[in-house]
Structure 1
Amino acid sequence: MVIGPKPADIPLIRRTLAVYKVSSIITGIFLLGLVVMMVTRYGLGSDIELNGPSGFIALSPVDTLTGFNLSIFLLAVHGWLYVLYLACDFVLWRVLRWPFWRFLWIAMGGIIPFLSFFFERQVPRQVEAVIAGLSPEDAHRVAEGSAA
């Protein structure tokens, strides 16, 4: 018996893949913002402040912030977006029946800068190749089931 996705799971795979594409781009953007935040906080000793006494956007020492702390915002939003990214990764891994190392490898996309942009292109190609590898009878059966 060949291990792979069930033809009935193709609609779930396509929906999850669509969310994965968007979440990988947004997670990657916030990860780059998080890298900037880490450099300013730990390299310069300052956080990014919005609407503080120094103007619309400024680097301010961590203890003196009175405006909106953009650094903490970037940290929190990236964390929640990474949860969404991991959930999509998990669903794809489970439904496509990929090996566990592939789940871990794709999960690194939300941790290593720029990797999520690479995966946003690579993972859909791999998923489409798996779907295309299903037998034509299975694909036809799924198409008939979704039309009903």
Structure 2
Amino acid sequence: MPLGPRPDDVPRIRLVLKLFRVSAIVTGVFLLLLVVMMVARYGLLVDIEYSDAYGFGLTPRELIEERGSLNVSLVILTTHGWLYVVYLALNFLLWRFARWSFGRFLFIALGGIIPLLSFFFEFSVPRWVRAELAKVEAPSEVPA
């Protein structure tokens, strides 16, 4: 059962929420790049290449290795992986400080796996957090 945030954690929650929103956008952009890369790699059997001589292009993997060019597909793959780790860490901190259910943590974690979902969470998670913080920051009613 979710307990809600503690009053002492409100400043931390606000900071983590700002970082989470940035992380959700950046992770979402790289996830979309990853989808394009996967379609190129497994659908067209090419990787995205960059070299000074040839510029950007879609090239079979063997040619990229022969030319010694930068395999942009691997850069996208690796970068998204590390950005997702940051996204998960910020999700964990929000979950811990807001004291949400574990199911909500898992639900938000899907944002770095399902394309476009992180953009949805970039808008919906702040609403959830503001609702939780409103409960904590509301003046308690004192019976007369």
In the superposition, the TM-score normalised over structure 1's length comes to: 0.88
Does 104-113 or 129-138 show the bigger shift?
Answer: 129-138
The structure 1 residue matched to 2:116, chosen from 114, 117, 129, is 114
Q: How does 1:11-22 map to 2 (within 5 A)?
A: 11-22=11-22
User: What is the CA-CA distance between 1:63 and the residue it aligns to?
Assistant: 1.2
How far apart, CA to CA, are the structure 1 residues paired with 2:52 and 2:38?
20
Offset at residue 52 of structure 1 (A)? 5.9
Q: Distance in 1 between matches of 2:32 and 2:126?
A: 22
Output aligned runs, 1:1-148, within 5 Å: 3-51=3-51, 53=53, 55-65=54-64, 66-137=68-139
Separation in 2 of the partners of 1:72 and 1:32?
A: 14
CA distance in 2, matches of 1:62, 1:52: 17
SS of the residue 2:49 aligns to? strand
Distance 1:125 1:48 in 2: 38
State the alpha-carbon separation in 2 of the partners of residues 76 and 52 from structure 1. 22
Using the alignment, how far apart are the partners of 1:59 and 1:9 within structure 2? 49
Percent identity reads 53
How has the CA–CA distance of structure 1 residues 33 and 62 changed in structure 2, closer, same or farther, with 3 Å as cutoff?
same
Please tell me whether the aligned partners of residues 31 and 110 of structure 1 are also in contact (alpha carbons under 8 angstroms): yes
Deviations 1:120-142 (A, max 9, x none): 0000011011001114358xxxx
Q: Could you list the structure 1 runs, at least 4 aligned residues long, displaced by more than 2 angstroms after superposition.
A: 135-138
Unmatched 5+ residue regions in structure 2?
A: none
SS at 2:62's partner residue?
A: helix
Structure 2: how far apart are the matches of 1:43 and 1:134?
51
Q: Secondary structure at the match of 1:45?
A: coil
Cα distance in 2 for partners of 1:4, 1:41 equals: 45
Which of 1 and 2 has higher RCO (CA within 8 Å, sep 6+)?
Answer: 2
SS at match of 1:103: helix
Whether the aligned pair in 2 keeps the contact of 1:52 and 1:68 (CA below 8 Å) is: no
**How many pairs are equivalent?**
136
**Alignment-mate amino acid for residue 59 of structure 1:** L
Q: Conserved in 2, the CA contact under 8 Å of 1:50 and 1:67?
A: yes
**Whole-angstrom CA distance in 1 between matches of 2:3 and 2:131:** 15
